[in-house]
Amino acid sequence: MKIDFLDSIIPDEKRPRSRAAFAYIQELIHRIRTLRPDALIEFRQHYATPVTAGLATAFRAGDVPFDYVENFQRCVQLRLLLGDGVPVQADPVYFRRDETPVNVARHMMAAMAGVPMLSLELRTLSAMHRRIIANYLALYHRRRSILNFGRWEFHFRFGHAVWARCCGEHGMVLFLWAVEYLTGALTGAPAAVTVLNLSSDPLACPGMAAFDPAGEPAGSTAPPGGRLETTAREIISGTPVRN
**Residue 208 confidence (pLDDT):** 93
Q: Does residue 240 surpass a pLDDT of 50?
A: no
Judge whether residue 153 has pLDDT over 80.
Answer: yes
- For residues 112 and 232, is the Cβ–Cβ distance under 8 A? no
Q: Is the pLDDT of residue 36 over 80?
A: yes
Q: How confident is the model over 39-49, as a mean pLDDT?
A: 90
Whole-angstrom distance, CA of residue 207 vs CA of residue 192: 12
Q: In what order do the strands lie in the sheet with 58-60?
A: 42-44, 58-60, 88-89
pLDDT at 230 over 80: yes
Residue 103 is predicted with a pLDDT of 98
Does the pLDDT of residue 232 top 60, yes or no? no
Which residue would you say has higher pLDDT here, 197 or 240? Answer: 197
Q: Are 185 and 198 in contact (CB under 8 A)?
A: no
pLDDT in tens, 155-172: 999 989 999 999 999 999
Interaxial angle between packed helices 101-111 and 68-82, expressed in degrees from 0 to 180 and rounded to the nearest 10: 10
Residue 61: which residues within 8 A CB-CB, separation 6 or more? 45, 71, 74, 75, 78, 88, 89, 90, 91, 114
pLDDT digits (tens, 9 = 90+) for 182-220: 999 999 999 899 999 999 999 999 889 999 999 999 999
CA neighbor of 169 nearest in space, from 196, 141, 191, 138? 191
Specify the DSSP class assigned to residue 223. P
State the average pLDDT over residues 47-72. 93
Show Cβ contacts of residue 15 under 8 Å, excluding neighbours closer than 6 positions.
none
Q: 49 and 81 in contact (C-beta within 8 Å)?
A: yes
* Band of residue 233 on the pLDDT scale cut at 50, 70, 90: very low
Q: Phi then psi for 198, rounded to 5 degrees?
A: -90, 0
Say if residues 47 and 37 touch (Cβ distance below 8 Å).
Answer: no
Look at residue 157 and give its three-state secondary structure.
strand
Q: Where are the domains of the chain?
A: 151-237
Confidence (pLDDT) at 191: 85
Task: Give 15's DSSP letter.
Answer: S
Which stretches does DSSP call E strand in the chain?
42-44, 58-60, 88-89, 151-157, 160-168, 171-176, 193-197, 203-204, 209-211, 221-222, 227-230
List, in order, residues 6 or more apart from 158 with CB less than 8 Å away: none
DSSP H stretches of helix in 17-126: 18-35, 68-82, 101-111
Residue type, 206: P
pLDDT confidence of residue 236: 41
117 pLDDT exceeds 60? yes
pTM reported for the whole predicted model = 0.90
Structure confidence at residue 235 (pLDDT): 40
84-110: pLDDT as tens digits: 999 999 999 999 999 999 999 999 999
